[in-house]
Amino acid sequence: MDLLQTLLATLVALGVLVTIHEWGHFWVARRCGVKVLRFSVGFGRPIWMRKGRDGTEYAIAAIPLGGYVRMLDEREGDVPESLRDQAFNNKSVYQRIAIVAAGPLVNLAFAVLAYALLFLSGISVVVPVIGEIVPGSPADRASVPAQQEVLAVDGREVQSWNEINLRLASHVGETGAIEMTVGEPARGVARTYRVPIEQWDVDLERESPLTAVGIRPWRPEVPPIIGQLLPDGAAVAAGLESGDRILSVNGEPIGDWLALVEVIQASPDTRLDLMIERQGQERSLVLVPGRREMPDGAVKGYIGAGVAPFEMPADMQRTLSYGPVEALVAGVEKTGQMIGLTLESIGKMIAGVISVKNLSGPITIAKVAGTSAASGLESFISFLAYLSVSLGVLNLLPIPMLDGGHLLYYAVELVRGRPVSEQVQMLGLRIGMALLFSLMALAIVNDLARLF
């Protein structure tokens, strides 16, 4: 069921984003008088196709990792004299720029609308109250206090941990200070602290920027009650069932779920004597956690069990909701923030500040799509918006084979007054293909490393 959900979520995510991207090219091409021969979602052999009244073939192809709009073009075949004015290559450079730019720009517009929809309907977030400060961390050196709410980062108001993480992520690889304002809004108390960083190296594979800066969010005490179980896990082998409450391990009382996790992770292949409560009765079990090797080489215990659902206290939750105009403005601001973060990340990856290990491919996208779909419609729409921003920004990069590469050629044509030669374009195409295929291979290798 989880695999089916992941596949469906991935197909929906890619299908929606590819369709709107290609529709952007298609819609502007038609408005510019270009004849569109085929509108395809996916590559390869079509598994469904029909011809519209406009003469365009509409197709869904077997490989759902992209799509294309094939336009009439004299460079790709003979064009009848009567249709030459409808060929893409015979349109003005401004029209060609509009057609090529439309795809990624529609992706960015979709992200704005998706975020605006979320803000309009209301987003539920956890109030960002600091639980603990890690000793010796940057936040500790700045004397950032615990048990207070984070109100702003670098002078910009924040209302959720997600916003804080995004603000902190923009400082990865930098030297200087991060300004964090924390306080107690109910009492009107607030103070700004300068958190020192020096060539701030954050391994985004293993930790979030929030964790790296030394802040642990406040969390309620979570009862150590077993929830979901993996059928082949150590928990099931020991006889644990959903709803069991762990009372003690090796005679030591267990107060909450995190304490149980710490004991299990520290005990791979080690016998643990449990005392549990099941349906009001106490009983003992023997549990031997399996072992899981972490990316850093450390080995931790693992039993294949999740915590039972629990509710966050009402006073620690807030709903971010706006009117139509405010929601649209917030959607534009959020999209702009994500564009900036994406460009910064690409720049820092090229400069070697951020490891290329953070590059993700289709496997990671599929996993995130499945997880976000399982978390609810709000999470899935947020994921779609983020992925749409990434698709829009990446396609605008000046790399031959991408939309941005074509835009670069047209910009040169505007300056020179004549098109870039076919020889130069073919050379750029080969370079672009080599670069993109290399990046794709690296992303897939990273995906497989995370998976195994």
In sequence order, the 6+-apart residues with CB closer than 8 A to the CB of 133 are 139, 140, 144, 145, 146, 214, 215, 216
Q: For residues 241 and 205, is the Cβ–Cβ distance under 8 A? A: no
CA 66, 447, 347, 427 torsion: positive or negative? negative
Active site residue 326: no
Under the phi-then-psi rule, with left for phi > 0, alpha for psi from -120 to 50, and beta for the rest, what region is 139? Answer: alpha
What is the rounded distance in angstroms from the CA atom of residue 388 to the CA atom of residue 20? 10
What is the rounded distance in angstroms from the CA atom of residue 402 to the CA atom of residue 248? 58
What is the rounded distance in angstroms from the CA atom of residue 164 to the CA atom of residue 157? 9
Among 157, 172, 83, 442, residue whose Cα is nearest residue 320: 157
Q: For residues 318 and 125, is the Cβ–Cβ distance under 8 A? A: yes
Catalytic site positions: 22
